[in-house]
Amino acid sequence: MYVLLYSLLFAVAIILQLTLIPLFSIKNITPDLVFIVVLAIVFKHGRFWGLISGFVAGVVLDFFGTGFVGVSSLGNILAVFFAGYWINEQFERRFLLLLLFLFITTLIHNLTYFPIVSIGSSIGFWPLFFRSVIPHSMYTLVFMAVIYLAIPSAFNKSRLA
Amino acid sequence: MLPNELLLHRRDFITFFCGVLVSVVLIFSNNNSQIQNVRAWTVEGFGFFLNKVTALRGYYQLREKNLWLNEQNANLMLENSRLREAAFENDRLKNLLNFKSRSKFDLVIGKIIGHSQDSFINSVILDVGKNEGVYKNMAVVTAQGLAGKIFSVSENKAIAYLLLDRNFRVGVIDQRTRIPGIIRWFKTGSELVLGEVPKRSDVKVGDKIVTSGISRIFPGGLTIGEIKSISDEKLGMFMNIVVEPAVDFSRLEEVFVVKSHNIDLN
């Protein structure tokens, strides 16, 4: 039942990522809604389901772009693997700690994604870091914070990894 | 510990390593035709829903009238591009008689039903595909000028690169001086860079950049944009030329795929 429910949730997230989220873009910087849903699943159902959903959602999302297929899934898997280690009950009580955790997790995702996507564009690591990795991570974090404030249970555990 | 228990105990690690392995294999197999087929099926499958959600955004607009006006506008733009090219050609070849200029564009209108966008990837999903005669590498234009080209196509949907995608390259010329170069994305933001233009070339800020027409993909004379700034590379042989695109990519809703073109300026 959960598989069906979350498949539907991911389908909706992917459709929104491709249709409505670009409306919020600031100089081509967009929040990654699909990754936010993946992280919410890690919080809810643990690392294993986070890895599975992160991989599948990443591959599907990559099919809609012109970059390498497999990059988003790789970024998702590495970030989820990290997240699974560090999630703990303190995040439910300390909002800033939760934000810091989400930011580092998003940073890991983007530090995997952007260097691979930028291959061939001759952009250096630091310009890439400051112009793409950090802005995308910050913007995704802002969206996560908004979602958390709107739906506090989104990043609360039902079962920790 | 039994094998099943071991698997259960280590399932996170096994899933992690399998996921990483498959992702890396996928990254290195991107040109595989099977991957392209799955991409086409996926886009086709999601296309219906993308269409519906995008349609919600358009309910408050006079869509039909806009479509018609846009098509007229695009045709006029293409005609205008051709005429501008012809005028420049005429200046240079005014002593020649029997000058012939013909242009015919077969356009198909495509509604944008999805965007895939980040710092490096900037593509759109169109609601037209093979059934409408759209194929890979066809030029995508708007009323303002060249917008991109078709990257992947399924029966009823297509993915198109935009000029601001890191993969996009197009041969161009400075319309005033006819100096050739190659346009690509500027690595960040919404500007383009005109490369391979030697130092001391006669290019000026404000010059219009148009497609050269050398490639078979893009018709010649399509507006790309205007030169915004010029500086010399410190060590290289070429100039750093930044071009402001003519197309406003933040407002794209419909584009036109150039199914066929026939330009003969000579």
- Taking residues A99-125, report their average pLDDT: 89
Contact yes or no for A71/A78 (Cβ under 8 A): no
Report d(CA A42, CA A3) in Å as an integer: 14
Task: Report pLDDT for A160.
Answer: 42
CA A109/CA A73 separation, integer angstroms: 9
Question: What CA–CA distances, in Å, run from B70 to A160, B18, B77, B87, B260?
Answer: 54, 49, 10, 25, 19
Q: State mean pLDDT over B72-86.
A: 80
A34: containing domain: 2-155
User: Does residue A88 surpass a pLDDT of 50?
Assistant: yes
**Residues A70, B117: C-beta atoms closer than 8 Å:** no
CA distance B85 to B210: 9
B-chain residues near A18 (CB < 8 A): 46, 50, 114-116, 125
Domain contains A160: no
B114–A19 C-beta distance less than 8 A: yes
Q: What is the pLDDT of residue A157?
A: 63
Interacting residues of A142 by C-beta distance below 8 A, sequence separation 6+: A31
Mean pLDDT of the region B4-17: 81
- Nearest neighbour of A15 by CB, restricted to B27, B46, B159: B46
pLDDT by residue (tens digit) across A18-50? Answer: 888 888 888 888 999 999 999 999 988 889 999
Rounded to a whole number, what is the distance in Å from the CA of A51 to chain B's nearest CA?
Answer: 7
pLDDT at residue B265 in the model = 35
The mean of the pLDDT values for chain B is: 81
Asked if the structure places residue A28 within a domain, the reply is yes
Facing residue for B167 by CB, picked from A11, A55, A66: A66
Mean per-residue pLDDT, A123-137:
90
Q: What is the band of B93 on the pLDDT scale with cuts at 50, 70, 90?
A: low
Region A74-88: mean pLDDT is 90
Instruction: Determine the pLDDT at residue B97.
Output: 42
Q: Does B99 score more than 50 pLDDT?
A: no
The domain tally of chain A equals 1
Question: What's the confidence (pLDDT) of residue A120?
Answer: 74
Chain A interface includes B39 (CB < 8 A): yes
Q: Report the pLDDT value the prediction gives residue A31, as an integer from 0 to 100.
A: 92
Interface test with A, best of B8, B15, B59 (most A CBs within 10 A): B15
Residue B38 has pLDDT above 90, yes or no: no
* Contact: A64, B167; criterion CB under 8 Å: no
Q: How confident is the model at residue A53 (pLDDT cuts 50, 70, 90)?
A: very high
Asked if the model's pLDDT at residue B90 lies above 80, the reply is no
Give the residue-averaged pLDDT of B166-180. 88
Quickly state the pLDDT bin for B216 (edges 50, 70, 90). confident
DSSP for chain B, please give it. --HHHHHHHTHHHHHHHHHHHHHHHHHTTTT-HHHHHHHHHHHHHHHHHHHHHHHHHHTTS-HHHHHHHHHHHHHHHHHHHHHHHHHHHHHHTTT-SS---EEEEEEEEEEEEEEEESSS-EEEEES--GGGT--TT-EEE-SSSEEEEEEEE-SS-EEEEETTSTT-EEEEEETTT--EEEEEE-SSTT-EEEESPBTT----TT-EEEE-S-SSSS-TT-EEEEEEEEEE-SSSSBEEEEEEESS-GGG--EEEEEEEEEEE--
DSSP strand pairing (B158-162 vs B192-195): unpaired
- Indicate the pairing of strand B102-117 with strand B254-264: antiparallel
Pick the most confident of A102-106, B81-85, B261-265.
A102-106
pLDDT score recorded for residue B158: 93
- Chain B residues 107-166 with a CB less than 8 Å from chain A: 113-123, 125, 151-152, 159, 161, 164-166
Indicate whether A60 belongs to any domain.
yes
pLDDT at A118: 84
B118: tokens are 């980040």
Q: Which of A14, A70, A118 is nearest residue B26 as measured by Cβ atoms?
A: A70
In a domain? residue A78: yes
Name the closest residue on chain B to residue A119, using Cα atoms. B166
In a domain, A72, yes or no: yes
Q: What is the pLDDT of residues B15-28, one digit of tens each?
A: 999 999 999 999 88
Confirm whether A88 is domain-assigned: yes
Is B188 in contact with A136 (Cβ distance < 8 A)? no
CA-based nearest residue in chain A for residue B47? A15
Q: What CATH code is carried by the domain that includes residue A40?
A: 1.10.1760
Q: Does A97 reside within a domain?
A: yes
The predicted structure's pLDDT at residue B62:
60
Q: Mean pLDDT over residues B166-175, rounded? A: 87
Answer whether residue A79 is part of any domain.
yes
The C-alpha of A93 sits at a distance from chain B's nearest C-alpha, in angstroms, of 27
Residues of chain B contacting residue A73, judged by C-beta atoms under 8 Å apart: 19, 22-23, 26
Nearest to B53 among A15, A55, A122 (CB): A15
Contact between chains at A47 and B12 (C-beta distance less than 8 A): yes
Domains of chain B: 58-165+249-264 (2.40.10.340), 169-245 (2.40.10.350)
Contact B12 A64 (CB under 8 A): no
